[in-house]
Structure 1
Amino acid sequence: MFDPKYQPVLMAFFMALFMSFLMSGVISAINIGIPENFLAIWFHAWWTAFVVAFPAVMVVSPLVRRATVKFIRKS
């Protein structure tokens, strides 16, 4: 198990992993349909998307957290 200090990195990793996987599959299917080699195409698209998504989530998530706080009503 990981130390709690790594929670933001693990959260970003899994968010990028799952979102890039799902979105690359959906976008690939929309753009090319489902040919015989769809899984190979999807895997390539997913890997490329993940390499971009993980650093992007690491950079953007603190900004999103701060922006979200501004939309929450204080009790």
Structure 2
Amino acid sequence: MIPARYQHVLFGLILSGLMSFVVSGIATARTVGWIDGFVGLWMSNWLPSWAVAFPTVLVVAPIARRLVARLVRPESQTQR
């Protein structure tokens, strides 16, 4: 098992991998359509995308967490 202190890195790896996989698949399909060799082309587009997405997620996630914390009211202050 991976130590808990690396949880944010593993989360970023999985999230960036899945998101870049889906987005690159959509972009590839919209660009070339469902052609022969589509999967190979998709994979060749996805891997470089993931290489950019992973470090981007690691940098942007803390900023997004701070922004969300400012936009969300703590649970104790909500009306019931």
Q: TM-score, normalised by structure 1?
A: 0.96
Q: What is the aligned residue count?
A: 75
Which whole-Å CA distance do the structure 2 matches of 1:44 and 1:68 have between them? 34
* Structure showing greater relative contact order (alpha-carbon pairs closer than 8 Å, 6 or more residues apart): 1
State the partner residue of 1:24.
Answer: 24
Q: Deviations over 1:31-72 (max 9, x none)?
A: 110110101110011001000000000100000000000110
Letter in 2 for 1:73: R
Root-mean-square deviation (CA), in Å? 0.7
Which whole-Å CA distance do the structure 1 matches of 2:26 and 2:62 have between them? 27
Letter in 2 for 1:20: S
State the partner residue of 2:44.
Answer: 44
Letter in 2 for 1:21: F
5+ residue gaps, structure 2: none
Percentage of identical aligned residues = 35
Letter in 1 for 2:27: I
5+ residue gaps, structure 1: none
Q: TM-score, normalised by structure 2?
A: 0.90
